[in-house]
Amino acid sequence: MSVTYRDILSAAERIASGVHRTPVLTSNLLNEIAGCELYFKSEHLQKAGAFKARGAVNAVFALSEEELDRGVATHSSGNHGAALARAASLKGASAYIVVPSNARKVKQEAIAGYGGEVILCEPTLSAREARLQQVIEGTGATFIHPYDSPWIIAGQGTAALELVEQVPGLETLVAPVGGGGMLAGSALVCEQTGVTIFGAEPRGADDTYRSFITGERVTSHVPDTICDGLLTTVGEQNFAIIQRLVSDVLLASDTETVEAMRLVWTRIKQLIEPSSAVALAVILANPEVFAGQKVGVMVTGGNVDLEDLPF
């Protein structure tokens, strides 16, 4: 099943009752620092604290009653798991979330808080997938992929759909990329609306950048970054869209990302996580790319563990 702009329009209708239409925030001071007009699409204020609510609700609300009775399952480092647990609860369904043992405590607590069953595993992709398979075989639950799914891609794209409506004349959009659901969904919206789109990625987890440059999708790597929501490799369906529609994937160091996060915290007074701040970080690191433009910044999540701050 391929994903189209029409699927995103349908997703927007499907999820309307289950997600927020998040605000767009601005800062004159940050505009001066960046040399462009910045429009922060505030998905950190979304249900469950991240954009993942959109794709999860879209996927769960599309299930049949029979499928809902068996529940849903996934593997997640946190935000997708919490979003899926919440979406399942809206339909009275069970949610089984396989979580790596090194996932941040705040994200594990969020999953449990929404009624999901947290199932810990070793912090490797192979361990996550193996444990998830055991869960599915034992429960009959439907697997909702964290990012490599048409339902997820279409749901995540609704954030960009809102943004282009909220900011007339938007010229450019920057979105973080981990698995690629947000970037791929946003790219489909940008294609239809004439907006240029860039991906933002940590230097310590640059698989999408390397995939984009070589044309060959990186399927395995060992990430090393503070951006814990961007550790996974880019999905197959996601990369096909990204490769076709995204202008470039830009990189930022963890130091640059932490500084960008600090700027948002202190100038806009918004609590965002490193995986969100990387979008602003690449804008500040590449002023010549964005100079004078109206730039959308996809702020993807705000689930920060205050017991483990980076500064």
In order of start, what are the domains of the chain with their CATH numbers? 5-51+149-299 (3.40.50.1100), 53-143 (3.40.50.1100)
Take residue 271 and report the two structure tokens written for it: 């609590």
Helix/strand/coil for 174: strand
For range 52-58, the mean pLDDT: 97
Sorting pLDDT into bands at 50, 70 and 90, what band is 233? very high
CA distances from 162 to 7, 50, 263 (A): 15, 15, 25
Tell me the per-residue pLDDT of 258-267, one tens digit each, with 9 for 90 and over. 999 999 999 9
For the segment 242-269, the average pLDDT, to the nearest whole number, is 97
Q: What are phi and psi of 173, to 5 degrees?
A: -135, 140
Average pLDDT, the chain: 94
Q: Tell me, what's the pLDDT at 77? A: 75
- pLDDT value of position 303: 79
Would you say residue 46 has pLDDT above 70?
A: yes
Residue with tokens 């996809």: 298
Name the DSSP class of 40. E
Question: CA-CA distance, 138 to 266, in Å (whole number)?
Answer: 48
**Two structure tokens written together for 223:** 């990430």
- Mean per-residue pLDDT, 45-55: 94
pLDDT at 1 over 60: no
Among 296, 228, 252, smallest CA distance to 79 is for: 228
Q: What is the mean pLDDT of residues 96-104?
A: 90
Mean pLDDT is lowest, of 19-28, 215-224, 237-246, for: 215-224
Which has the closest alpha carbon to 42: 296, 304, 308?
296
What pLDDT is stored for residue 167 in this prediction?
98
Asked whether the predicted pLDDT for residue 210 surpasses 90, the reply is yes
Provide the sign of the torsion angle of the four alpha carbons 95, 98, 104, 109, taken in this order: positive
pLDDT value at residue 310: 60
Binned at pLDDT 50, 70 and 90, residue 308 comes out as low
pLDDT at 87 over 90: yes
First to last CA, the chain: 44
Instruction: Tell me the two tokens of residue 119.
Output: 């199932």
pLDDT band at 273 (very low <50, low <70, confident <90, very high): very high
Question: Taking the CB of residue 236, how many other CB atoms lie within 10 A of it?
Answer: 11
CA-CA distance, 136 to 71, in Å (whole number)? 10
Q: Which residue has the tokens 């701050």?
A: 309
Helix axes 52-61, 150-166, angle to 10 degrees: 130
d(CA 98, CA 74): 6
- DSSP 3-state of 49: helix
Longest dimension (CA), the chain: 56
**Rounded Cα distance, 61 and 6, in Å:** 17
What pLDDT is recorded for position 107? Answer: 79
Least confident of 106-110, 131-135, 216-220: 106-110
Kindly indicate the confidence band of residue 189, based on its pLDDT and cuts at 50, 70 and 90: very high
Between CA 177 and CA 238 the distance in angstroms is 10
pLDDT of 125 reads: 76
C-beta of residue 58 within 8 angstroms of C-beta of residue 152: yes
